[in-house]
């Protein structure tokens, strides 16, 4: 009997000026997906997290102001992978 297994991987990105210069969203996704594919996992879904929370928006804005626009918490994503396991 085949059973599906799941794995969740979190990708966190930096924001602000530093994040704009250093963070490459595509490369972060490709690296994570390639690593998981090499282990036999297949990507099922990408879930953005923390984007609509008013408290986190205020915290991000506060950090951005305190660091003079250099850094803030960036976007986070959950990558959900699955693969079949033989029972």
Q: What are the extents of the domains in the chain?
A: 2-86
**What pLDDT, on a 0 to 100 scale, did the predictor assign at position 53?**
80
Look up residue 23 and give its two tokens: 């963070």
Q: Cα 21 to the chain's mean position, in Å? A: 18
Q: How many other C-beta atoms can be found within 10 angstroms of the C-beta atom of residue 46?
A: 12
Examine the pLDDT at 34 and tell me if it is beyond 70.
yes
pTM of this structure = 0.80
Look up residue 51 and give its two tokens: 């984007």
pLDDT per residue as tens digits for the range 61-74 = 899 999 998 888 88
pLDDT per residue as tens digits for the range 35-51 = 999 999 999 999 998 76
Look up residue 83 and give its two tokens: 């693969």
């Amino acid at each position: 009997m085949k059973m599906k297994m799941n794995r969740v991987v979190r990708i966190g990105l930096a924001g602000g000026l530093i994040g704009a210069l250093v963070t490459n969203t595509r490369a972060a996704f490709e690296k994570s997906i390639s690593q998981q594919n090499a282990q036999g996992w297949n990507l099922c879904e990408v879930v953005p997290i923390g984007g609509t929370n008013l408290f986190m928006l205020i915290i991000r804005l506060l950090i951005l102001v305190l660091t003079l626009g250099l850094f803030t918490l960036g976007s986070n994503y959950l990558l959900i992978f699955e693969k079949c396991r033989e029972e």
